[in-house]
Structure 1
Amino acid sequence: MAYYYYKSFIVIILSLSFYFLSICYAENGQKTVGNWLEIASPEDPAVIQVGQFSVDEHNKDTNSTLKFERVVKGQAQIVGGINWRLTIEIKDDKLIKNCEVLVFEQPWKKVKKLIDFKNI
């Protein structure tokens, strides 16, 4: 029984690795662990979800009412999880602002944490 769980865990990790490598690319075409890789599409649902999460967490932490608009650009770094560094547009009342956020995620552990949120 333990072998089955171990095998399933390996399959999940490999699947997640291939998925995250498919949404990221390096300018020189190499996909390497530890390097910051440009996100291929800011419209990718996984990237949008991270942007929305960052605004939701910031609002909880600061009692704000910011609204997520879109991801402008971003990078991902594959480490013992994924570091997401995104430039996002937010709406603060009627003003549109750009912010840079840093989110750490370990999907297989269901861990997601906002590390930094700053106006740029």
Structure 2
Amino acid sequence: MNTRALLLVAVAVVCAAAAGRATAASAVGSWEEIANVDDPKIQELGRWAVVAATKRAGVPTNALTFNEVYAAEKQVVAGLSYRLHLEASSSGARYGRYVAVVYQQTGANTRELVSFEPTH
């Protein structure tokens, strides 16, 4: 192989490696859809978020009943954040849709309800 061809191959390898690193770096901090929202872990996070939100609001924990997570995303940070789109019903049997953000620290068994907001 001549010097010119070898140089072109080396440049191509370096460019491909740099592109791979850029893709991996852009994934950190961006939201990624969770395809399987029926995963018991995701549904449990939604259930936990509803209970945590009612406790935070100072209302009885049965004032809002978890129904299901119907869409979810995750974000890699210093742990994982989950943005859960969920349905819950009030004691008057009214269904509502909410977006909950839950932060879960990697390696620890700690969770934090970052936000819980109704959607329109």
Determine which of 57, 60, 63 is the counterpart of 2:52: 57
- SS of 1:41's equivalent? coil
* Structure 2 Cα separation of the partners of residues 33 and 72 of structure 1: 24
* Structure 1 Cα separation of the partners of residues 82 and 67 of structure 2: 17
Equivalent AA in structure 1 for residue 78 of structure 2: G
Determine which of 83, 94, 98 is the counterpart of 1:85: 83
Tell me the C-alpha RMSD between the 2 structures. 1.6
* Structure 2 Cα separation of the partners of residues 50 and 107 of structure 1: 15
| Number of aligned residues | 91
Alpha-carbon displacement from aligned partner over 1:65-106 (angstroms, at most 9, x marks no partner): 100000010100011100100110001121111001111001
TM-score normalised by L of structure 1: 0.71
Structure 1 partner of 2:73: 75
Q: How does 1:1-120 map to 2 (within 5 A)?
A: 32-62=27-57, 63-64=59-60, 65-93=63-91, 94-120=93-119
List 4+ stretches of structure 1 deviating above 3 A: none
- SS of 1:58's equivalent? helix
Structure 1 residue 107: Cα displacement: 4.5
* Structure 1 Cα separation of the partners of residues 43 and 31 of structure 2: 18
- SS of 1:69's equivalent? strand
Is there any run of 5+ residues in structure 1 with no aligned partner, and where? 1-29
Structure with max Cα Rg: 2
CA contact (8 A) 2:78 2:106 kept: no
Is there any run of 5+ residues in structure 2 with no aligned partner, and where? 1-23
Structure 1 residue 32: Cα displacement: 2.8
* Structure 2 Cα separation of the partners of residues 100 and 82 of structure 1: 16
Q: What is the aligned-residue identity percentage?
A: 26
